[in-house]
A and B are shown apart, each in its own frame.
Chain A
Amino acid sequence: MEIHKTSWPMRVLVLVLFLYLLAPVILVFPISFSGDQVLQFPPSFWSTRWYTALFQNTVMLKAFWTSLTLAVVVTILSIVIAVPAAWTMTRTSFFGKEFLFNLFTAPLLLPTIVLGLAILIVFASFGLLATMQGLVLAHLVVTLPYALRVLAVSLGTQDRACEEAARTLGAKPLTVFFRVTLPMLTPGIVAASALCFLVSFDEVVITLFLTGPRISTLPVELYNYVFNQADPLVAAASVLLILLTLGVIMIVERAMGLGKAFVK
């Protein structure tokens, strides 16, 4: 830290810019304890009425359970589908492998507004709109590329010596995979799961196209709520969402280091 003496004006500038970057996330904390009927800062008095209101809001509660179920199902399916795919991509060679890898991660390059519309049109004819199956499938389209990429990096950088040793000692390929490769992949699986969970739980643009009065997710309901009125209820929900995110981030940090998981 001391090799480079950063000048004071530069430090102040960086501090101000950090404040700008974090301001909206920080501000929702005091606002969630506002006692006012409308959004204003500073609040005229403090209370926990908006947390009470949130837990009495049946629409939000139902949407939360839908989101949670959806995110858990999507995360499990993502891992189950992406682990064999990532293994194939890193442990076998065949013609067109690079092309397939790019194709499987390509949905990330498409803006969600375009992907959402494209999926809406096709799912409408399949009768998948406003169904849990439709939401799971749509979310898998965006979570699988993340899972595949993280797992492929993990498998690609894994030390092969243990696999070789197991094989030389006579272990069958499936035994090698379940007894050696998979346990060594645990940090990668944790990181990929956390990422898939967050992506699915926070996904809003594609989901907006696919939800309706019958089924809706928490981000979509929050979006609808903010679109119609902006009162501190959403701040209370935001605080809980931020805490959930922090919890998941800490799991990833423990498992493999945040930088490695996301910068790659």
Chain B
Amino acid sequence: MNAAAETAPRTWRSGELAIVLLLPIALINAIGFILPVLNLARYSFNQSTAGGGIADVFTWENWTGLLRDPFYLELIFNSVWISLAITLTTLVVSYPIALYLHRSTGSWKTFLTVLVISPLLTSAVVRTYGWIALLTDNGPVLSFLRYVGLPAPSLMFNIKGVFIGLTEILMPYMILALMAGFGRLDPRVEEAARTLGATPSRTFWKIILPLTLPGIALGCLLCFVLAVSSFITPKLMGGGRVFLLATEIYDQAIVTLNWPLASTLSILVLIVFGAALWAYSVVLRRLD
């Protein structure tokens, strides 16, 4: 960037100018992000005292207590496992849409892309409410199942409803990530395979799928991370009966007022994130 020296006003040295222009955003970043996160890490080593107080002493108690308590071990295990299952389901239901979008062109493609993005811009509360309306006991899904004589298990206030709702809520992220990765998919390669006599399914498994693996990896990383930290849907559709990491963080922070434990669980979520990121980088290296 050689243009910098010319662009910056002559009365200012460009370093000073940069500091002045970046000061507001830096201040907000420091007060609203850096300080809170550092403080959170410190809190996970503080002691909670009776009545919601906090003792400013260094202790491993929160961490050791967490790893010894069977309730929390199960909570962590369940959160990770359910998030993985939701991620895979989201991948399976998003892939055909992404592939179809990748192959569409013109205004039809724009229209469909807007349809995919618009749920993303709709409030999570609204979309979760939509799922409650769909899956409630007198709702259309269960009414239909009963009408055709199929078993109609209750889908509200249990993990099944949360699973169905969260999968749909994560779909736009997965579709966008997949499409971003589909750039490598040249239609001519597919055509070549077909012309040379490959069946559609063989073309899919041997050509399309391998070429789209980077997009799949990115989408899975994104959705897993979002699933582990999702809060609104499990809280509202679980009705307080589905316990996951994010809902437990909120309950500990707001209901029980045990901030050190809530902080410890939050840092744990970040550790899970780190692990997911590491797995992603390993997969990417393998693909190259």
Interface-centre pick from B33, B116, B259, B273 (highest chain A CB count, 10 A): B33
Produce 1/0 per residue, A13-34, CB < 8 A to B. 1100110111111011001000
Chain A residues positioned under 8 Å from B259 (CB to CB): 117, 121
- Chain B positions within 8 Å of A230 at CB level: 129, 132-133, 136
B125-A23 in contact (CB<8A): no
Write out, one digit per residue, whether chain B residues 70-103 have a CB within 8 A of any chain A CB (1) or not (0): 0000000000000000000000011011001001
Q: Which of A91, A103, A117, A253 has a CB less than 8 Å from the CB of B253? A: A117
Give the residue name and chain of the A residue nearest to B10 (CB).
Answer: A173
Which residues of the other chain, B, contact A118 by a CB distance below 8 angstroms?
A: 36-37, 39-40, 266
A85 and B21 within 8 A (CB): yes
Is B287 interfacial (CB 8 A cutoff)? no
B97's contact among A21, A23, A91, A167, by CB below 8 Å, is which?
Answer: A21
Assess whether B36 is in contact with A81, with CB atoms less than 8 Å apart: no
A100, B253: Cβ atoms under 8 Å? no
Q: Which of A17, A22, A88 contacts B22 (CB 8 A)?
A: A88
Given A20-B168, A25-B122, check contact A81 B96 (CB 8 Å): no
Q: How far is the CA of A137 from the CA of B31 in the complex (A)?
A: 9
Interface residues of chain A: helix, strand, loop or mixed (majority): helix
> Once bound together, how far apart are the Cα atoms of A205 and B125, in whole Å?
10
**A17–B93 contact, CB under 8 A?**
yes
Find out whether the CB atom of B231 lies under 8 angstroms from the CB atom of A39.
Answer: no
Among B96, B120, B124, B130, the one with the most A-chain Cβ atoms within 10 Å of its Cβ is B130
Q: Is the CB of A92 within 8 A of B17?
A: yes
- Report the separation of the CA atoms of residues A10 and B126 in the bound assembly, to the nearest whole angstrom: 30
Contacts of A106 in B (CB 8 A): 33
Expressed in whole angstroms, the minimum distance between the Cβ of A75 and any Cβ of chain B is 15
Q: Is B281 an interface residue (CB 8 A)?
A: no
**A204: contacting residue among B8, B123, B168, CB under 8 A:** B123
B195: chain A residues within 8 A (beta carbon): none
Binding site for B on A (CB under 8 A): 1, 3-4, 6-7, 10-11, 13-14, 17-18, 20-25, 27-28, 31, 38-42, 81-82, 84-85, 87-88, 91-94, 100, 103-104, 106-107, 110-115, 117-122, 137-138, 140-141, 144, 148, 160, 163, 167, 172-174, 198, 202, 204-205, 208-209, 219, 222-223, 226-227, 230, 234-235, 237-238, 241-242, 245-246, 248-249, 253, 258-259, 262-263
